Amino acid sequence: MKEGCGAEKEFINLDWLGRYKMKDSENYIIYALCVKLIMLLQKRGYCVMRVEVNQDLCISCGTCIDLCPEVFKWNDDDKASSAVDEVPVDLEEQAREAVESCPTEAITDI
């Protein structure tokens, strides 16, 4: 986070964005604009996507690794884990798809 901006990362909660994923034109435009804004904020260091895999919920199906191998990897217990501390901006869409595709909801966007 840049110094002196007056905002803390805790205040940037993007959970609300999920409701705009509907494909009707008005909501889709809002969603697209929000995604662009988030990407701009991330490039400037204001918010960063991170993912975490709950090892107790992971069933080792490999969906996340297939969808986004740059962000997810197999660990020593043959379960998925995060391969990076921060998801690169250009891989966020793939990472979000992996999060949403997890059959046990073991992956969270933190």
DSSP secondary structure letter of residue 8? -
Q: How far apart are CA 102 and CA 107, in angstroms?
A: 7
d(CA 92, CA 77): 26
- Give dist(CA 56, CA 54) in Å, integer: 5
Q: What does the pLDDT read at residue 14? A: 55
Domains (range + CATH), the chain: 1-48 (no CATH), 49-110 (3.30.70.20)
Yes or no: say if 34 and 46 are a contact pair by the CB < 8 Å rule: no
Q: Where are the alpha helices (DSSP H) in 1-110?
A: 25-43, 63-67, 92-101
pTM: 0.61
pLDDT tens, residue by residue, 9-49: 434 455 555 554 555 566 777 777 877 887 787 677 677 88
